Amino acid sequence: MGFLGLRELLVVVWCILLILLCCSIEISFGSTTRHFKWAVEYMFWSPDCQESVVMGINGQFPGPTIRAQAGDTIFVQLTNKLHTEGVVIHWHGIRQRGTPWADGTASISQCAINPGETFDYRFKVDKAGTYIYHGHFGMQRSAGLYGSLIVEVGEGEKEPFHYDGEFNLLLSDWWHQSVHDQEVGLSSKPFRWIGEPQTLLINGRGQFNCSLAAHFSNTSTNACTLRGDEQCAPQVLPVLPNRTYRLRIASITTLASLNLAVGNHKMVMVEADGNYVQPFEVEDMDIYSGESYSVLLTTNQDQSKNYWISIGVRGRKTQTPQALTLLNYSPTSQSKLPILPPPITPTWNDYDHSKSFSNKIFALMGSPKPPKNSDRQIILLNTQNYIDGYIKWAINNISLLLPSTPYLGSIKYSLKSAFDNKNPPENFANDYDVMKPPINPNSSNGNGVYMLGLNITVDVILQNANALAVNVSEIHPWHLHGHNFWVLGYGEGKFSANKDEKKFNLRNPPLRNTVVIFPFGWTALRFVADNPGVWAFHCHIEPHLHMGMGVVFAQGVEHVNDIPDQALACGLTGKRFMKNTKQN
């Protein structure tokens, strides 16, 4: 009886396992669907040891990490449990070929999901790499709606480098005031600035007024006594000596540009935004919001000690302290703090340091090369402006104010009244002095679309300029949806077509989805408009985007078929949808 019972039990367990497996992972002909049911809700959390309200997923902050293999289909059924606002999730770095309605941009690719409703995000992850997902409605990213999306190489494929283990570091910044305080301040006259973040977070964990590094600073910060199970306790990275680890590092900050360094260890850069780069060694690295990198780190230091991993703010003069965690060499030394102080973040305005890092990034040999020529050049001037006394950011004098009907549906169904049908300007006034504050600082709101011919090659020159205050020009990391682009070059001052185009790197420019423009400088990029859909291109600093710093590209929308009703159920497409349902 005992023997049979055990066998029966095993069969039952095996069946249950099979059923469980089938529910979450459907395998058919070598391609896997990974199925998730997510609920987004506000909840109490202590990301930096101080309780706040955060936007979480299934009771977690940051949201659950998705791991998949290249070629898999991700299927997320997202339910909005926010009660008072809509929600969407953008899959940052995923190109959404054939599924432009799943890009998760409110007013662009879909209608915001109403409280209580569920939206099906079903899309293919076709390229291995380190990606992120995050809210793309209002300022929900700032409220904490984000997580990691990691795509491993497909079955039988290999990465072009070796490693023994890996860690994932998702970097963000955190304020004690609510996202509503932030947003209302930005939209007020006079403008009210929330100020710099209180805390930097690594995997959603930071320590406020309780510095891990207090032993090494002469300021009044207190040393922490953390048991290790707190929500704000740092995630210590356990490593073995003489091994190589891959650190996947992504920044989803609202505002801060960051620098990361590991005490006593060098890093070898191998991946940027899901694209392989020519490996190069660094002692520290800059990372802007929306970017991701993989670095290899070899544990070749004295194994009786532990080492700090630190991140600090670049490009803004802040009081925000470094965020720290530990590289822990031996299980017995878990509680041992490093003897050496944490690496020092380069001075906030040492832009040469940042530029020298950016200029070291090239595509791995054998990567796709850009077309030799472009069919269209669009120059985008980035300015800070006023509209009726409200502070805004504008591109070629237009501050993006999104329409109530998402473009994908309104363009597909030719609902011409849904947005401004005039093409936005391709350039700015020739006599505009990018080194001085605007003479007439007024601009206007707009929601026009750059209509790109399908498959054309587009060059975009991002031109930075002086903001409203004298001698001030800020960093802006620009992110393109639906594509990777080649970074052809960076330069100082005003872009000169004659002089600067000759210097474009067409030999081994890195492919990316996010790139920075430095203060008073320009950045040139090239992409092929080969992905039918409507795609946002915008500054990844959340307040800047919210204040209008973005443009919209559309291409081949006539080839987009089967947009799900779920994505269209608002604005003018919603009305059209209602009419059709009545007729049926």
Ligand X SMILES: *[C@@H]1O[C@H](CO)[C@@H](O)[C@H](O)[C@H]1NC(C)=O
Q: Which of 102, 398, 539, 568 binds Cu ion (CB under 5 A)?
A: 539
Does 476 bind Cu ion (CB under 5 A)? Our answer is yes
Give the one entry of Cu ion, ligand X, none that residue 454 binds, where binding means its C-beta sits below a cut-off of 5 to 8 angstroms depending on kind: ligand X
The DSSP H or E segment spanning 581 is helix 571-583
Q: How far is the CB of 284 from ligand X (least distance, A)?
A: 18
Q: How far is the CB of 384 from ligand X (least distance, A)?
A: 12
C-alpha Rg value of the chain to the nearest Å: 24
Give the one entry of ligand X, Cu ion, none that residue 530 binds, where binding means its C-beta sits below a cut-off of 5 to 8 angstroms depending on kind: ligand X
Query: Closer to ligand X at the Cβ: 138 or 321?
Result: 321
Does 349 bind ligand X (CB under 6 A)? Our answer is no
- CA–CA separation, 416 vs 407, rounded Å? 10
Q: Which of 295, 323, 381, 541 binds Cu ion (CB under 5 A)?
A: 541
Q: How far is the CB of 234 from ligand X (least distance, A)?
A: 18
Q: Which of 73, 142, 410, 443 binds ligand X (CB under 6 A)?
A: 443
Q: How far apart are the first and last CA of the chain?
A: 62
Query: Closer to ligand X at the Cβ: 50 or 358?
Result: 50
The answer to whether 259 and 232 have CB atoms below 8 angstroms apart is no
Query: Closer to ligand X at the Cβ: 10 or 340?
Result: 340
Give the one entry of ligand X, Cu ion, none that residue 544 binds, where binding means its C-beta sits below a cut-off of 5 to 8 angstroms depending on kind: Cu ion
Does 188 bind ligand X (CB under 6 A)? Our answer is no
Query: Closer to Cu ion at the Cβ: 312 or 548?
Result: 548
Q: Which of 24, 177, 188, 222 binds ligand X (CB under 6 A)?
A: 222
Give the one entry of ligand X, Cu ion, none that residue 209 binds, where binding means its C-beta sits below a cut-off of 5 to 8 angstroms depending on kind: ligand X
Reduce the DSSP state of residue 249 to 3 states and report it: strand
Does 116 bind ligand X (CB under 6 A)? Our answer is no
- In one-letter notation, the amino acid at residue 228 is G
Give the one entry of Cu ion, ligand X, none that residue 331 binds, where binding means its C-beta sits below a cut-off of 5 to 8 angstroms depending on kind: none
From 144, 136, 131, select the one nearest 174 (Cα to Cα).
Answer: 144
Q: Which stretch binds Cu ion (CB under 5 A): 219-227, 347-355, 403-411, 542-550?
A: 542-550
Parallel, antiparallel, or unpaired: how do β-strands 52-57 and 89-92 relate? unpaired
Give the one entry of Cu ion, ligand X, none that residue 476 binds, where binding means its C-beta sits below a cut-off of 5 to 8 angstroms depending on kind: Cu ion
Strands in 376-387's sheet, in edge-to-edge order, are 444-446, 398-400, 390-395, 376-387, 457-463, 521-528, 485-492, 511-512
Q: How far is the CB of 438 from Cu ion (least distance, A)?
A: 16
Q: How far is the CB of 191 from ligand X (least distance, A)?
A: 14
The DSSP H or E segment spanning 19 is helix 2-24
Q: How many residues does the chain have?
A: 584
- CA angle (134, 412, 567) in 5-degree steps: 40
Does 431 bind ligand X (CB under 6 A)? Our answer is no
Q: CB atoms < 10 A from the CB of 558, how many?
A: 11
Give the one entry of ligand X, Cu ion, none that residue 541 binds, where binding means its C-beta sits below a cut-off of 5 to 8 angstroms depending on kind: Cu ion
Q: Which of 241, 368, 371, 493 binds ligand X (CB under 6 A)?
A: 241
Q: Which stretch binds Cu ion (CB under 5 A): 163-171, 290-298, 540-548, 572-580?
A: 540-548
The alpha helices in 157-289, defined as continuous H runs, are: 179-186
Query: Closer to ligand X at the Cβ: 70 or 456?
Result: 456
Does 191 bind ligand X (CB under 6 A)? Our answer is no
**Residues in 451-470 at the binding interface with ligand X, rule: CB under 6 A:** 454-455, 470
Does 432 bind ligand X (CB under 6 A)? Our answer is yes
Q: What is the DSSP string of 64-94?
A: PPEEEETT-EEEEEEEE--SSS-B-EEEET-
Does 584 bind ligand X (CB under 6 A)? Our answer is no
**If you search the block for the tokens 């408009």, which residue do you land on?**
529
**Site mask for ligand X (CB under 6 A), range 516-545, x = bound:** --------------x---------------
Does 229 bind ligand X (CB under 6 A)? Our answer is no
The DSSP H or E segment spanning 131 is strand 129-135
Give the one entry of ligand X, Cu ion, none that residue 432 binds, where binding means its C-beta sits below a cut-off of 5 to 8 angstroms depending on kind: ligand X
From 324, 217, 316, select the one nearest 260 (Cα to Cα).
Answer: 324
Residue 82's region, left for phi above 0, alpha for psi from -120 to 50, else beta, is alpha
Does 381 bind Cu ion (CB under 5 A)? Our answer is no
Give the one entry of Cu ion, ligand X, none that residue 539 binds, where binding means its C-beta sits below a cut-off of 5 to 8 angstroms depending on kind: Cu ion
From 389, 551, 549, 524, select the one nearest 474 (Cα to Cα).
Answer: 549
Q: Which of 242, 319, 335, 356 binds ligand X (CB under 6 A)?
A: 242
Which residues, other chains included, contact 283 with Cβ-Cβ below 8 Å and sequence gap of 6+? 261, 266, 267
- CA–CA separation, 445 vs 394, rounded Å? 8
The dihedral through the CA atoms of 149, 481, 555, 496 has a sign that is negative
Largest CA distance in the chain: 93
Q: Which chain residues interact with ligand X by CB under 6 A?
A: 209, 218, 222, 241-242, 388-389, 397, 428-429, 432, 440, 442-443, 454-455, 470-471, 530
Q: Which chain residues interact with Cu ion by CB under 5 A?
A: 476, 539, 541, 544
